[in-house]
Amino acid sequence: MDKIKPRTMSGFQELMPQNQVYFNEMAQKLRESFSLYGFTPLDTPLMEASEILLAKGGGETEKQVYRLTKGDTDLCLRYELTASLAKYVALHHGKLVFPFRRYEIGKSYRGERPQRGRFREFYQADIDIIGDGKLDIINEAEIPSVIYKCMTSLGLCRFCIHVNNRKVLSGFFAILEISNATEVMRAVDKIEKIGEQKLAEHLVTDLGLTTDKAAELISFVKHQGDPFEVLGKYRGRNEMFDTGADELGIVARYMSSFGVPDTHFKIDLSIARGLDYYTGTVYETFLLDYPEVGSIGGGGRYDELAEYYTDKKLPGVGISIGLSRLFYILQEQQLLNPDVLSAPADVLIIPMTEDLSHPIILATQMREAGLRVQLYSEDKKFKSKVAYADKLGVPYVAFLGEDEIKSGQVTVKDMQSGEQTQASASLVIAGIAEKIKTRRMLPPILEAE
Amino acid sequence: MDKIKPRTMSGFQELMPQNQVYFNEMAQKLRESFSLYGFTPLDTPLMEASEILLAKGGGETEKQVYRLTKGDTDLCLRYELTASLAKYVALHHGKLVFPFRRYEIGKSYRGERPQRGRFREFYQADIDIIGDGKLDIINEAEIPSVIYKCMTSLGLCRFCIHVNNRKVLSGFFAILEISNATEVMRAVDKIEKIGEQKLAEHLVTDLGLTTDKAAELISFVKHQGDPFEVLGKYRGRNEMFDTGADELGIVARYMSSFGVPDTHFKIDLSIARGLDYYTGTVYETFLLDYPEVGSIGGGGRYDELAEYYTDKKLPGVGISIGLSRLFYILQEQQLLNPDVLSAPADVLIIPMTEDLSHPIILATQMREAGLRVQLYSEDKKFKSKVAYADKLGVPYVAFLGEDEIKSGQVTVKDMQSGEQTQASASLVIAGIAEKIKTRRMLPPILEAE
């Protein structure tokens, strides 16, 4: 038979077993963190009718969408999680309780050119709090603490959450009498990428600002020192600006009650986020040692979640963590915690007798005690059996021969230390369980402070 | 703005928040069960190049596949998990350690006519053990114990795992000198659906068996009493039959060491499984009270996992649990455990003061202790705030007013009993944590024995 060459398509992250364990562990830590803040899990379809997903219409993204026809139906694979949430809330509005807090960790699809850390199939981890008509500012102050909890539970410590408010920027543009505010907002969003010099040129040459205004704008957004000082300077000249400054004040004030230390949080007036969608507090999260990577989690406050599907006013606040990308960066930087148990089993039982009843009973006993066990039953040389555990990183090997069975003992080898001991099954199980327990609680990432 | 009517496509299971919690809990129990048996998690792409997914070719399934073109690439959404596994093992063969045990719980897609409990987007939970060249029979004896563990950890008790061996059937067909064995195997697979009478007619009229042979075949596969008695009767007449009978003997003998009680397991000579793919032990799992539902989890031994992609001989054994369908049945039969905490939070904090620092600090404290907490900060009447907890099923509400803050106390209402108590934050936290703990360990399904 002619063989078809096995391959995985470019841009599709297919992990080897050990890396998959780390990835799953990261997703699990995010789930646990989101749950502590009362977010409920959703799992919406990966495909929607095209009219739903493309309601927003236009733009680069639409070109990247995976679209197909099945029967009479025009379908798209989702390219982000927000449209699915908007549809869900609009559709099930009467059955939901508001404010509605949901998280979703799921795959999305974009047919962009694959690059290092950019995937065509990728996981995003989103949280959103949706209000019915109104949503209190306190929710905007709570979100950074969710980010902080997520990052620290992963094991990251060198990161900083940058917070700004779109009303401050919009108000400031009004004070400067900038008419093309949308374009200028998008330009400011690129400041980290292109630098102050290039931004100034762009503002003057392409967007028609005077040199003075461009300079004043850049000096405002890149202000060093206390941000509330520069905010104070412009107060009283524009209502929206003042509201934004007030909101930033509230967010900053409650942040530490919410458990975010000063060291991990910064008011940064240059944070704009490109999308027109945002109307209040905006967030970006940066890894201190990998600024070139850009934001690994961002979001903000918006006023209209589902305007394409319903007349209902549904304001919200949310963030999105690019999980596939984050994982890619962390493993590339070799920050995966080597002490995490990434082996598929805690114990490999190697039977030394023809009849397998005793080893099988031992496996059953160990599993009942919560240990993850493989029984090695293949017909191989003793050495290959032990090598199997070694290659997989299984931390303990249990041998069960005639002698052990007669004396009711089990011989156990600690694969890391090489130490070999003999004891009763229940003692062996208790001993392994104790040692495994600590390793199971380790964070997936190990980053030095 | 014109609105687009929000809708979810027919055949796509989109769950309400509380049901999603049950679904996730079921998936989690399966993950935990698979892990105890040393299966490593994989998460393969949902899309593959069409040449890969359709390598097996032909049949009904190919018509149901969601296929699309993006740029120059011809793509398919997977319609099961096995082809992805086969490609994975063929592609990464050199980096994997064999026997390779993996589980995958993921979505697949089939454009079939949606029916009750049949979805176009659905979850399957698969486990497979793949050998490199060879795979010991013990693995076939272990699989039913994984099924048993899965079902009981979900909370099911009224189910039975039916086991047979394809070699027994093939050998038996040879003994009866049946030449069209493939067609007869597929016919036998339908016995539960169509009944003995119709099967006999079908065998005689359509498949050309004599009335006697059809009767002998049916009397064999539907044999009541000890299956090894009827197996013994035909022994010595066909080598494959004898091998199959031996294998069934081994599987049955080790089953109870693996922890499967006699009550939940049955040698059933009528189990055939339609696919040509299987070559040894085969399994089906039935819910005793819902036989009309058919098998909720089946699989078996095969000899060629990846023959379309590699010359390497990769025998294996596996099962697939139709998770979306199983969930649909169980919730329809109202078997979801009502005591499971399906609310998004354990505690709702209702602040009674203007300044929110104290309630926020309390929320942070509770979260640090592992409680899932929502802080209610919306500007609503007191009654609506408590009603919010009630509608979501949040079990505890904590009130924090001036008096409580002054005296360092928290008032807590148990929403189920209506009882209201006052104590220090740490006592309140410990009390709730204790009560929540037991509810967190409940199985998602509650079925009376």
Joined together, the tokens standing for residue A381 give 């040389």
Q: Is the pLDDT of residue A61 over 90?
A: no
- Touching A: B residues 304-343, CB under 8 Å: 306-311
A5 shares contact with chain B (CB less than 8 Å)? yes
- Touching A: B residues 254-293, CB under 8 Å: 254, 257-259
pLDDT tens by residue, A367-383: 999 999 999 999 999 99
Kindly report the pTM of this predicted structure: 0.97
In this structure, the strands spanning B67-70 and B73-77 are antiparallel
A252 shares contact with chain B (CB less than 8 Å)? no
C-alpha A373/C-alpha B281 separation (Å) is 22
C-alpha B64/C-alpha B50 separation (Å) is 13
Taking CA atoms, B424 is separated from B64, B334, B404, B428, B431, in Å, by 61, 40, 9, 6, 11
A1 shares contact with chain B (CB less than 8 Å)? yes
> Based on C-alpha coordinates, what's the Rg of chain B?
27
Q: Is the pLDDT of residue A141 over 90?
A: yes
Q: Report the pLDDT averaged over residues A391-402.
A: 96
Cite the DSSP H helix spans in B37-161. 50-53, 59-64, 82-91, 138-154
In the prediction, which pLDDT does A70 show?
92
**Partner-chain contact A360 B258, CB within 8 Å:** yes
**Partner-chain contact B45 A4, CB within 8 Å:** no
Q: Is the pLDDT of residue A389 over 70?
A: yes
Residues in A touching B82 (Cβ below 8 Å): none
Tell me the pLDDT band of A112, cut-offs 50, 70 and 90.
Answer: confident
How close does chain B come to A209, measured CA to CA in Å? Answer: 33
With CA atoms as reference, the chain B residue closest to A394 would be B38
**Partner-chain contact A44 B14, CB within 8 Å:** yes
How close does chain A come to B194, measured CA to CA in Å? Answer: 31
How close does chain A come to B36, measured CA to CA in Å? Answer: 4
pLDDT tens by residue, A203-224: 999 999 999 999 999 999 999 8
**Partner-chain contact A36 B367, CB within 8 Å:** yes
State the 10-residue block means of pLDDT for chain B, 449 residues long.
90 97 98 98 97 82 90 94 96 97 97 86 98 97 97 97 97 95 90 91 94 95 93 97 97 92 95 86 96 92 94 97 96 95 97 95 96 96 96 97 95 96 97 94 92
With CA atoms as reference, the chain A residue closest to B356 would be A254
Number of H helices, E strands in chain A: 16, 16
C-alpha B188/C-alpha B209 separation (Å) is 13
How close does chain A come to B242, measured CA to CA in Å? Answer: 21
How close does chain B come to A100, measured CA to CA in Å? Answer: 10
A97 shares contact with chain B (CB less than 8 Å)? yes
A40 shares contact with chain B (CB less than 8 Å)? yes
Helix (H) or strand (E) holding B433: helix B425-440
How close does chain B come to A415, measured CA to CA in Å? Answer: 17
In the prediction, which pLDDT does A193 show?
86
**Partner-chain contact B42 A55, CB within 8 Å:** no
In the prediction, which pLDDT does A76 show?
96
In this structure, the strands spanning A347-351 and A396-400 are parallel
B40 shares contact with chain A (CB less than 8 Å)? yes
In the prediction, which pLDDT does A50 show?
95
**Partner-chain contact B75 A66, CB within 8 Å:** yes
**Partner-chain contact A20 B14, CB within 8 Å:** no
Which letter, b or e, does each residue of A92-121 get, where b requires 16 or more Cβ atoms within 10 Å of its Cβ?
ebeebbbbbbbbbbbbbbbbeeeeebebbb
Residue A160, beta-bridge partner list: A286
Nearest Cβ partner for A121 among B8, B45, B55? B45
Rounded to the nearest integer, the mean pLDDT of chain A is: 95
**Partner-chain contact B101 A374, CB within 8 Å:** yes
> Of A4, A107, A380, which to mutate for an interface test with B (greatest number of B Cβ within 10 Å)?
A4
Angle between helices A239-255 and A166-175 (to 10 degrees): 150
Tell me the pLDDT band of A145, cut-offs 50, 70 and 90.
Answer: very high
**Partner-chain contact A41 B24, CB within 8 Å:** yes
Residue among A74, A55, A250, A255 nearest A149 (CA):
A255
Q: Is B206 exposed, middle or buried (0-12, 13-18, 19+ CB in 10 A)?
A: exposed
**Partner-chain contact B43 A15, CB within 8 Å:** yes
CA B294 to chain centre: 14
Residue A413, beta-bridge partner list: A397, A420
Q: Report the pLDDT averaged over residues A340-347.
A: 97
**Partner-chain contact B357 A43, CB within 8 Å:** no
In the prediction, which pLDDT does B256 show?
86
Residues in B touching A46 (Cβ below 8 Å): 46, 107, 121
> Based on C-alpha coordinates, what's the Rg of chain A?
27
C-alpha A295/C-alpha A273 separation (Å) is 10
> Of A367, A368, A392, A440, which to mutate for an interface test with B (greatest number of B Cβ within 10 Å)?
A367
Write the CB contacts of A109 (distance below 8 Å, at least 6 apart in sequence): A46, A65, A66, A77, A78, A79, A120, A121, A122, B47
How close does chain B come to A333, measured CA to CA in Å? Answer: 22
**Partner-chain contact B97 A5, CB within 8 Å:** no
- B52 — alpha (psi -120 to 50), left (phi > 0) or beta? alpha
C-alpha A377/C-alpha B258 separation (Å) is 14
**Partner-chain contact B121 A45, CB within 8 Å:** yes
- Touching A: B residues 380-439, CB under 8 Å: 388, 391-392
**Partner-chain contact A9 B374, CB within 8 Å:** no
The amino acid present at A211, given as its one-letter code, is T
The secondary structure of residue A279, as a DSSP letter, is: E
| Cis status of the peptide bond prior to A17, with omega within 30 of 0 | no
Residues in B touching A101 (Cβ below 8 Å): 344, 374
In contact, B378 and A136? CB cutoff 8 Å: yes
In a 3-state reduction of DSSP, which class is residue B122? Answer: strand
Nearest Cβ partner for A254 among B46, B139, B360? B360
Nearest Cβ partner for A48 among B9, B138, B142? B9
Residues in A touching B374 (Cβ below 8 Å): 37-38, 101
**Partner-chain contact B38 A1, CB within 8 Å:** no
pLDDT tens by residue, B95-133: 999 999 999 999 999 998 878 888 999 999 999 999 999
How close does chain B come to A138, measured CA to CA in Å? Answer: 7
B130 shares contact with chain A (CB less than 8 Å)? no
- Touching A: B residues 337-376, CB under 8 Å: 344-345, 348, 356-357, 360-361, 363-364, 367-368, 370-375
Nearest Cβ partner for A38 among B49, B142, B373? B373
A180 shares contact with chain B (CB less than 8 Å)? no
How close does chain A come to B350, measured CA to CA in Å? Answer: 13
In contact, B395 and B414? CB cutoff 8 Å: yes
**Partner-chain contact B41 A52, CB within 8 Å:** no
Nearest Cβ partner for B49 among A7, A136, A308? A7
**Partner-chain contact B378 A99, CB within 8 Å:** yes
C-alpha B419/C-alpha A27 separation (Å) is 37
